Amino acid sequence: MEAAKFSEILQKLESDKSSMQELNLALYLKANYSDATDSGRNIPPLKHNQIRSLFREIVLNNTTLKTLDLSGIRIDVTIMKELCVALKTTQIETLKLVNCKISTRSLRHLMHALPNVSTLKELYLAENQFVAKSVPYVMKYLACPECKLETLSLSDNGLCDQGIEQMFKSLEQIGARSSLKTLRIANTSFSERGFKSIMAYLKCNLPLEVINMYDVLIPGDDDALKEEFLDVFRDNFYAKRIEIDQINLNVDQQARLQQIKTSKEGVGHHLYVTDVDALLDWPSSCVGAPVKTSCLCTGRAASAA
């Protein structure tokens, strides 16, 4: 972005700083980048020095700001280090870094800094560049006593079987010490191995209340695996919402799921299955009842939000 235009926007941000509780940087730039000659064009990207200035002037020592959304802003290692310095001085409750092209190396710096942000409750990291080796950094943060995180989104990343297995084994080890209630891993490629690690976690009846697995292809030919999954959901008394699609249930399995669903709804527990071949007749009054649309709670929507 040209220097004069950025200076103008930064001045406006500084004037709004004292009363600003939420900042979505991309939307703020769009709303305030008023140049008739650029009408209809994309806003020029911020340069490294501009992002650093923004962190230092707007985020650093800002205890008013509660939600920081940098989604869509490319965050490399250098920028991440600057962000981490600023975050440590805030009382942020929600941090959204969706589609920021964050690498495992950058993630390591973020996870090292977050224990110093004890107010953080929600962390959205969907659509980045994480792989299986990224998972231990996240799990180390979740295990630390200072972590009070309740919602974590890692949807649309390349975690695969190994990453999913590491994640749920670590969650088992952390156990009831974890404050995490909602985990989103939508649009993640894993097979029976990863799915079984999730079921093993659910069998432990640990306090994870919502698991979002939309756009995850569950192995389609293993009836025994599906029966085991139904058993796990029936017996788990912590998971209040398991959101899943891409699972083909036969007629008997659908009937069994309907029975389990009815009994579980009585205590506020829901299993949302939205596969075209196994869509249940959900009561319209049920909050969050699924609909057959491609935008339903996928990594590009609810899993990132």
Higher pLDDT, 23 or 304: 23
pLDDT at 44 over 80: no
Which range scores top for mean pLDDT: 192-196, 247-251, 298-302? 192-196
**Nearest-5° angle of CA 214, CA 138, CA 192?**
40
pLDDT at 191: 83
- The pLDDT value recorded for residue 139 is 97
Q: Are strands 94-96 and 67-69 parallel, antiparallel or unpaired?
A: parallel
Within 8 A by CB and 6+ apart from 15, the residues are none
> Which of 81, 96, 109, 5 shows the shortest CA–CA distance to 50?
5
Exposed e or buried b per residue across 100-127, where buried means at least 16 C-beta atoms within 10 angstroms of its C-beta: bebbbebbbbbbebbbebeebebbbbbb
Percent of the chain with pLDDT over 90: 47
Mean pLDDT value across the chain? 82
- Measured CA to CA, the distance from residue 88 to residue 113 in angstroms comes to 7
Average pLDDT rounded to a whole number, residues 9-25: 91
Prediction pTM value: 0.84
The pLDDT value given to residue 281: 35
Q: Which of 206, 203, 283, 195 is nearest to 235 (CA)?
A: 203
Q: Which residue has the tokens 């196994």?
A: 278
More confidently predicted of 249 and 208: 208
pLDDT at residue 68 above 70? yes
Say if CB 81 and CB 54 are below 8 A apart: no
pLDDT band of 34, cuts 50, 70, 90: low
DSSP one-letter string for 27-47: HHHHHH---GGGTTSPPPPPP
The reported pLDDT for the residue numbered 60 is 92
Quick one: average pLDDT of 25-42?
A: 69
- In the chain, pLDDT over 70 holds for what percent of residues? 81
290: pLDDT strictly greater than 70: no
Given this model, what pLDDT does residue 35 score? 57
Encode pLDDT of 123-151 as tens digits.
Answer: 999 999 999 999 999 999 999 999 999 99
Beta-ladder partners of 23:
68
Name the band, by pLDDT with cuts 50, 70 and 90, for residue 53. Answer: very high
DSSP H helices, the chain, are 3-16, 25-32, 48-54, 77-87, 104-113, 135-143, 160-174, 192-203, 223-235, 251-265
Task: Express each pLDDT in 158-200 by its tens digit.
Answer: 999 999 999 999 999 998 889 999 999 998 888 888 988 999 9
Phi then psi for residue 228, to 5 deg, are -65, -40
pLDDT greater than 60 at residue 92: yes
Give residue 220's pLDDT band: very low, low, confident or very high (50, 70, 90).
Answer: low
DSSP 125-159: --SS--BGGGHHHHHHHHHSTT----EEE--SSB-
Closest CA to 148 of 183, 109, 181: 181
As a whole number of angstroms, the distance between CA 268 and CA 254 comes to 20
Task: State the pLDDT at residue 121.
Answer: 98
Question: For residues 290 and 86, what is the distance between their CA atoms, to the nearest angstrom?
Answer: 39
| Per-residue pLDDT at 24 exceeds 70 | yes
pLDDT of 30 strictly over 60:
yes
Q: Is the dihedral of CA 224, 230, 231, 233 positive or negative?
A: positive
- The length of the chain in residues reads 305
pLDDT band for position 227 (50/70/90)? confident
Q: Distance (Å, rounded) from C-alpha 217 to C-alpha 234?
A: 21
